[in-house]
Structure 1
């Protein structure tokens, strides 16, 4: 559970840093999500999921 909360904290810290450093770019990126088709969002989500699982698998070995 500690590791899960640590990972969540790291994700929030990175996302917060992006919003703090590039607010205009992040606002534009979020606005463009509304115009994307569901298939594109689904594919992007699955790609992110697979990349994250592979990264954790490689690091944890």
Structure 2
């Protein structure tokens, strides 16, 4: 459970850095995402989840 807390904390740090250091870039990302078809966003999400699980599996064994 500790690892899950650390992982969520790291996601918040990375998300926060985008908005703290480059808010204009964050807005452009949001605009681009709002114009992207839902099927493309869904595929990107599935690929990100797969890559994340694979990375954790490789690191944690």
Q: Would you say same fold, with TM above 0.5?
A: yes
Secondary structure of the residue aligned to 2:35 is: coil
Match of 1:30 in 2: 30
What is the aligned residue count? Answer: 61
Q: Give 5+ residue unaligned stretches, structure 2.
A: none
**After the TM superposition, which segments of 4 or more aligned residues of structure 1 sit over 6 Å from their partners?**
none
How many angstroms apart in 2 are the aligned matches of 1:13 and 1:35? 26
How many angstroms apart in 1 are the aligned matches of 2:33 and 2:22? 17
How far off its partner does 1:19 sit? Answer: 1.3
> For the aligned residues, what is the CA RMSD?
0.8
Deviation digits for residues 15-38 of structure 1 (CA, Å, limit 9, x no counterpart): 101111111011011011111111
